[in-house]
Chains A and B, each alone.
Chain A
Amino acid sequence: MIKLTSALACALLLANITPLPTQAAERPSDPLASPRWGDMEKGILSGATYVFDARVKVEAPDTAENPLNVPITIDATGLSDVKEILVFADFNPILEILRFYPDAAPAYLGFRVKLQQSTPVRAAVRTGDGVWHIGGTLVNTVGGGCTAPSMGATSPEWQKRLNEVTTRTWNEGPMSGRLRMRIIHPMDTGLIPGIPPFHIESVVLSDEAGRPLARLEVSQPVSENPVFTLNRGSTTGTLNARGRDNNGNTFNVRIPQ
């Protein structure tokens, strides 16, 4: 019942807050009208220059049936010279979801995330000139019927198969260049009493010569057993994927083309 109360209280809070008016003429106004945007601006972007930019596409279902597994696709390929993509959710208890550095890869990434409640999910894309370009979408997490998730129902699979990596690449057809990678990991947030944070921290993809293709800094909100969808762009040949979690467990695999 306690859980129910707090969920309802949060819903009430959200319903009653009206978006703050745009504070100053030079500040761009948040297209998602989030009451948390002011905090995001300070806390996440640390006062850096930014613009809301429709070329940063963030795709997610309007309504997430399972808030533990919400698919997010970031496509910033409409921008050139992308250095870094920071993905965050205004109303998540852990704001930062991941940072993606598409060194030699297109600025495109798919993955899934855990959301605590309805929230904007945003991508801030830093280009070579230092400007952050912001795109985002609202995700409603009201569940569907029988689909109430059980927080404790995570699979014990990871105990035997921690950091096991499976992948596949597509070299022709409409998905040509696509790479998908799944890593077995519980991705514990540390927010559940008695279960410390335990999550993948970094993933680095590189080409045969060891040049980085793309790098990821991953935070706790990324879903259990993460699956990443990337595009290898013009990089051919075998790839290498290596990574580690916050407890120092590592993986290092070769991905044939």
Chain B
Amino acid sequence: MRRFISIVVACLSCHAWAADADYHLTPLAVADGVYAFVGEQADFNPSNGGNIVNTGFIVGTEGVIVIDTGPSRQYGEQMRAAIARITPKPIALVINTHHHPDHFLGNQAFADTPIGALAGTRKGITTEGDAFAENLFRLTGSWMSGTELKAPDQILQAGPLKAGGRSLILLAMKGHTDADLAVFDADSATLFAGDLVFNLRAPTTPHAHLEHWKDTLRALDAFMTTQRVRVLVPGHGPIARNAAPIAWTRDWLTWLDTSLREAAADGLDMNETLTRPLPEVYRNIPVAGAEYRRSVGHLFPAAEAGALQPNN
């Protein structure tokens, strides 16, 4: 059966099959001992192999902390090889910030190391991970070959965490999903925000709760000030040295929320809401149109239900 599946996958994606499945991962030094791999600002497709995400690692005195593992087994393996070119130290801990596929499907490459996540993230990976992987197979093709679910084996809690000889603060939050982890490296004042923060790239909302998300962004903004955060690594989009990406994400979510409620109150149905033009400010933002349309699918039914009234 497995053999049949690989043949089918190969046929479907001959163009990608022939190409080398090399993500060309180059670690970008963002602070002392802190590196990020910055993904493309695009949708999942057969030419990027799902590399649309920012991942990273922190080199401690005793070992390395890996933050998210990318969209496929091959990404994970290539990430691990790229880390080994920077440091010979062992991987002390892998962290999955949340349960979306571009953040954990590289876990297989780290099967011999502890993989930690919030309890809700582990649950999401276990219940929805296979469906995500199937979807990524369809969207990216052979880049995904050999990718199988590897769930986190450690549950992380909010608060300080010593790993690899490095002092971290874990922030357990929600809004982008029901369980979102932000990781703060105290020594370098770097905050890995996961997908709680997008920068100049339209946020994704398949499991979003907009009110929770906006509350979380307020808390992150305050954290940036109190901890004097110097580097902010968003889940998608360019790395920043200020809190601007937090405001950017908040502004998008506020616009999205207001816009969907207004559409529902005006009597628009989903097709009419889908074809509304984006505001000027978002027209040149990567994948803004596609993410807006997806968000209408995710969030408009609730906005619409809120606009209708009971009868008797």
Contact = CB atoms under 8 A, between A and B. Distances in A.
A20 interface: no
Interface string B251-270: 00000000000000011111
Interface in A135-152: 142-150
B274 interface: yes
Given A9-B8, A144-B43, A71 B271 contact: yes
A178 to B, nearest CB: 5
A145 B267 contact: no
A26 to B, nearest CB: 35
A257 B294 CA distance: 33
Contacts of A1: 1-2, 5
Interface residues of B, number: 47
Contact of B271 (A110, A147, A173): A110
Dominant secondary structure of chain B at its interface with chain A: helix
Contacts of A33: none
A187 to B, nearest CB: 13
Interface string B125-145: 001100110110111000000
A106 B100 CA distance: 44
A151 B94 CA distance: 30
- For the side of the interface on A, what is the size category? 35 or more
A145 B271 contact: no
Given A1-B1, A66-B297, A175-B267, A253 B304 contact: no
Contact of A71 (B2, B127, B128, B269): B269
A70 B36 CA distance: 38
B311 interface: yes
Interface string B113-125: 0000000000000
Contacts, number: 133
B80 interface: no
A182 interface: yes
Contact of A61 (B101, B128, B274, B305): B274
B308 A180 contact: yes
Interface stretch (A42-50, A76-84, A160-168, A188-196): A160-168
A164 B310 CA distance: 8
Contacts of A61: 271, 274, 293
A23 interface: no
B271 A73 contact: yes
Contacts of A164: 310
B308 A7 contact: no
Contacts of A8: 5, 8-9, 12, 138
B155 interface: no
A150 B124 CA distance: 11
A194 B34 CA distance: 52
A146 B295 CA distance: 11
A241 B311 CA distance: 10
A168 B264 CA distance: 10
Contacts of B128: 148, 150
Contacts of A142: 138-139
B8 A12 contact: yes
Given A4-B134, A66-B298, A255 B311 contact: yes
Nearest to B136: A145
A225 B304 CA distance: 12
B44 interface: yes
Interface in B282-312: 290, 293-294, 297-298, 301, 304-305, 307-312
Contacts of B12: 8, 11-12
B5 A182 contact: no
A148 B134 contact: yes
Given A69-B297, A145-B139, A148-B135, A167 B311 contact: yes
A76 B25 CA distance: 53
B204 interface: yes
B158 to A, nearest CB: 24
A168 B309 contact: yes
A126 to B, nearest CB: 24
A147 B297 contact: yes
A147 B101 CA distance: 10
Contacts of A65: 293-294, 297
Contacts of A143: 135, 138-139
Contacts of A69: 270, 297, 301
A253 B312 contact: yes
Interface of B: 1-2, 4-5, 8-9, 11-12, 43-44, 100-102, 127-128, 131-132, 134-135, 137-139, 204, 206-207, 266-272, 274, 290, 293-294, 297-298, 301, 304-305, 307-312
Interface of A: 1, 3-5, 7-9, 11-12, 59-61, 65-66, 69, 71-73, 110, 112, 142-150, 164-168, 170, 173, 175, 178, 180-182, 225, 227, 229, 241, 253-256
13 contacts: A4-B134, A8-B9, A8-B138, A11-B12, A66-B297, A66-B298, A69-B301, A73-B271, A144-B139, A144-B290, A178-B267, A180-B267, A225-B305
